[in-house]
Structure 1
Amino acid sequence: MRFVHESLPQRVCFDSGGAARAVAAEIELVKAERLMVVAATPEADLAERVTAGLPVVVRHDEVVMHVPIEIAERARKVAANRAVDALVCVGGGSTTGLAKAIAMTTGLPIVAVPTTYAGSEATPVWGLTDGDRKTTGVDPVVLPRSVVYDASLTLGLPVEMSVASGLNALAHCVDSLWAPGANPLNAALAAEGARALHGALPEVANHPKDLPGREQALYGAYLAAVAFAAAGSGLHHKICHVLGGKYNLPHAQTHAIVLPYVLAFNAPNAPEAADRLARAFGTPSAPAGLESLRARLDAPRALRDFGFAESEIPAAVSAILPFVPASNPTPVTPDDLALLLRAAWEGSDWR
C-alpha cells in the first residue's frame, strides 16, 4: 500500500439554526475587524441576518456563475479600497468561488456559509472564466478558514435546484474514486458521502421544509468535497468544467446530467469503485442505483434543455480531450467522448 493523502486545515461547524452565532465565533477567532460580506442579491437578506452585529464595512453582491475574471477583479478592488481584513461568503458555489478569487490575490481569510450542496467551501480549488475558457487550479490560500453549515439556511432552496446541487455533490464522490489522486482514505469519505446523499436527496425532494434531510445532504456534500479535494478532478469534472466555461451552462445541472454517462463509461474498468458505490446505494449495480435515484428525484436529463446545441459537440470534444486524465480507468477516444456528449445532449440511454 503506497499513497499520499493531504488533510486540509479547516474548522467545520454544523449548527442548524445557529449560523449567526457560529459565524460570530469564527470571526472572533480570526480577529477580523473589517469584514467584506459576499452574497448575491437573492441571499442579501439572509446574509444580513447571518452577519448582524459584526464589523461589516462592505456588502458585495456582484456574483456571476463561473466567476468571470472581470467580476473577480472588481471584487478585489472593492476589498482593497475598503481595507478589508476578512471575507464572509453566504450562498452557493458561485458566491464561494468569488470569495476564493479575492482570497487568491489578497490572502484574506474566508468564513464560508453555504446555502447549497456545491462543496466548494471545503476545497482549495478555484475557478475563473476568461471569455469562453474556464481555468481551475489548486491553491491552499483559497481554502476557507472556517465553514458554517446551517441546514435551516437551505430550506428556501427550491426542490429542483436542491436536486441538481445534491447530484453535483454526488459527482464529487464518484469522481473521487478514480481521479488522479484517489486513495483509500478519500474512497472511504466518498463512499460515506454517497450513502448520505443517496438517502438524503429523496427526503429533501419529498419534505423540503424538514431539517433532517437537509442536514444529511449537507453532511454528505461536505464529505464529498473533502474526498474530491484530496483526489483532484477526474473525467467527469474535466468534461463539466469545459462545458460550463465554454458554453455558460449552469454548473449544478450540467454535473447532474453528465454524471450517469461518466459512471457508465468508467464502471466496467473500475470494479472496486463501482462496488463501493453500489454498496453505498444499496443496489447490485452502481449505474443502476444512480439511475434509480435520478428517476425518483426527477433530475435534469438533457444538456439541450439548458442551451447546449448538438452542433457544438465536435468542438466540445476537441476542447475536453486535452484535459482528460491519463489515469482514467477507461481509455478515452474522441469517438467515445462524442458518443457520451451526444447521449447527454439528448438525455438518452447509453451503453
Structure 2
Amino acid sequence: MALVFEHETLAQRVLFGTGKAAENVAAEVARLGAARVMVVAASYEAEIAASVTAGIDVALAYDDVVQHVPIEKAELARAAATENDIDLIVSVGGGSTTGLAKAIAMTTGIPIVAVPTTYAGSEATNVWGLTEAERKTTGVDNRVLPVTVVYDAALTYSLPAELTVASGLNALAHCIDSMWAPRADPINQALGGEGVRALAAGLRSIVGSASDQEGREQTLYGAYLSAVAFASAGSGLHHKICHVLGGTYNLPHAQTHATVLRYVLAFNAPYAPEAEQRIAQAFGAPTALAGLDSLRADLDAPRALKDYGFTEENIPEAARIIMPLIPASNPRPTTEAEIQQLLHLAWAGADPVFD
C-alpha cells in the first residue's frame, strides 16, 4: 500500500540538561534580547522559580495560577503583562502554569520560554485551553507555542509521588491518543511509540527509586515526545472526554487523564489493530491493555473518577456534552449510550469490559 500523508513539524528550541535550568534560561533570555521578563509560576513553586531565574532580571513575578485557566484569570494576566511592557514570559511549572503563559501569548504575541516541572507536555504544543462558564475550550495557535523549552530533571524531584504517576500517565495518554487522533500519521505514531517505551521505563525507575536521575530524564524525554506527537496528531477521544470532565466538573487534570486512559484504550483498541499492536510492542506486552494495566499496577495508578469528585449523577450530562466533540476519525463508531458506559466504568474504577 502506498504511503501518503501530510505532516507539519513545529519550530521550537529544546535545551535538555539536569542541573542546567538556570544557565539555560539565562542564555535564552540573552539570545532573545529580552529586557522585560515576566515569570509565571504558582506560589507553591516560588522557590523553584527563583532558582531557575536567578541569572536574569525579572520585571514581574506573577503567581495567580489556577488549573484549567479560567478566562477571568487569563484576562488579568494579559493586563499585567501589557501594563508592565513585558517582552518575554518565562513559565516555571506544570500544565496550568504553561497554560496561563499561553493565554497571555495568544492575545499579546509575547514569546514564551517554558521550564516544565511536571510531565504535562503543554510546553511542546501549540494547543491552548481556556475555561469559561464551566466549559473548557481548546484551540490551536502557533503564537502560544513556546519558542524554547528548558528541561531539567532536577526540577521534578519536588513533585509528589502520586502526582508524578498521574502526570506521567497524562503524558502516556498523549502518546496513545496520537495513534488514532484526527491527524495521526506515521511520524507522530513513531514518536508516540517511543514515548510509550520511555515513559513506561522511566516511571517504573522513579517509583523504584525516587532519586533515580536517569529515570526522571527518560520520563521527561518521553513526555516531550508525547507532546510533539499530540501537537501533530490532534485531540482524540481520550482528550475530548478529559477536557469536558476537567472544564465542566473541575476534576484534577493529571489524575483524570490517568484514570480515563485505561477505558479509552480498551474501547478503541479492538477497532484499531495496527495501533494496538504498536502500543503493545512499545510496552513489551502481548496486548496494549495488558501493557498499560501492568504499568498501572507497578505505579499504583489512580483508579476511579469517583475518587476525584465526579458523581454518578454527572454521567448523562457529561456524555451529552462529549458526543458532539468526538472526532469523526475515531476508530470505533460511538453512541451516547457507549460514552455513558465508558464514563460509568471509569467512575466506578471497574474492569473495562464493554457491551
Shorter chain as normaliser: what TM range? over 0.9
The aligned counterpart of 1:160 is 162
Q: 2:77 — aligned with what? A: 75
Residue aligning to 1:16: 18
Q: Secondary structure at the match of 2:59?
A: strand
Measure the CA separation in 1 of the matches of 2:64 and 2:98. Answer: 12
The equivalent residue for 1:323 is: 325
1:249 paired residue number: 251
Given that 2:22 and 2:55 are in contact with CA atoms closer than 8 Å, whether structure 1 keeps it comes out as no
Match of 2:86 among 84, 87, 93: 84
Instruction: Compute the displacement of 1:296 (Å).
Output: 0.8
1:127 counterpart SS class: strand
Deviations 1:247-283 (A, max 9, x none): 0000000000000100001100101110011000000
Quote the residue 1:38 is aligned against. 40
Cα shift at 1:129? 0.2
2:118 to 116, 119, 128: 116
- Alpha-carbon deviation of 1:26? 1.0
1:272 to 274, 277, 300: 274
State the TM-score, normalized to the length of structure 1: 0.99
Matches within 5 A, 1:218-257: 218-257=220-259
- For residues 302-325 of structure 1, what are the alpha-carbon distances to aligned partners after superposition, in whole Å with 9 as ceiling and x for unaligned? 000000010010000000001000
Deviation at 1:15, TM superposition (A): 1.1
Partner of 1:302: 304
The residue type paired with residue 196 of structure 1 is A
Superposed CA offset, 1:214-272 (max 9, x none): 10000000000000000000000000001100000000000000001000011001011
For 2:208, the equivalent position in structure 1 comes to 206
Structure 2 CA distance for aligned equivalents of residues 298 and 310 of structure 1: 24
Q: Which residue of 1 aligns with 2:128?
A: 126
Task: Say which of 147, 150, 162 aligns to 1:148.
Answer: 150
* Match status 1:64 vs 2:66: yes
Tell me the distance in 2 between the aligned counterparts of 1:171 and 1:240: 10
Q: CA deviation at 1:149?
A: 0.2
2:351 aligned partner, one-letter code: D
Deviations 1:83-137 (A, max 9, x none): 0000000000000000000000000010000000000000000000002100000
Task: Among all aligned residue pairs of Structure 1 and Structure 2, give the percentage whose two residues are the same amino acid.
Answer: 65
* Alpha-carbon shift at residue 167 of structure 1 (Å): 0.1
Moved segments of 4+, more than 4 Å: none
How many pairs were matched up? 351
Q: What displacement does 1:210 show?
A: 2.0
Please give the alpha-carbon distance, in whole angstroms, between the structure 2 residues aligned to 1:348 and 1:297: 18
**Secondary structure of residue in 2 paired with 1:56:** coil
Output the CA distance in 1 between the equivalents of 2:130 and 2:210: 32
Measure the CA separation in 1 of the matches of 2:306 and 2:31.
47
Number of the residue aligned with 1:258: 260
SS of the counterpart of 2:334?
coil
1:188 to 165, 187, 190: 190
What is the one-letter code of the residue matched to 1:12?
V
Give how far 1:205 is off: 1.3
| RMSD after superposition | 0.6
CA deviations on 1:299-351 (whole Å, 9 max, x unpaired) are: 00000000001001000000000100001000111111111000000000022
Do the aligned residues in 1 keep the contact of 2:259 with 2:303 (CA within 8 Å)? yes
Gapped regions of structure 1 (runs ≥ 5): none
Cα drift, residue 55 of structure 1: 2.0
1:313 equivalent in structure 2? 315
Q: What one-letter code is carried by the residue in structure 1 that aligns with 2:170?
A: N
Deviation at 1:53, TM superposition (A): 3.0
2:322 is matched by which residue type in structure 1? Answer: I
In structure 1, distance between residues paired with 2:352 and 2:42? 38
- The letter of the residue matching 1:285 is T
Q: 197-206 or 244-253, which moves further after superposition? A: 197-206
How far apart, CA to CA, are the structure 1 residues paired with 2:161 and 2:290?
Answer: 23
TM-score normalized by structure 2?
Answer: 0.98
Q: Distance in 2 between matches of 1:321 and 1:232?
A: 17
1:179-209 residue CA offsets vs partner (Å, 9 max, x unmatched): 0000000000000000000111111112112
Letter of the 1:206 partner, please give it. G
Local SS of the residue matching 2:306: helix
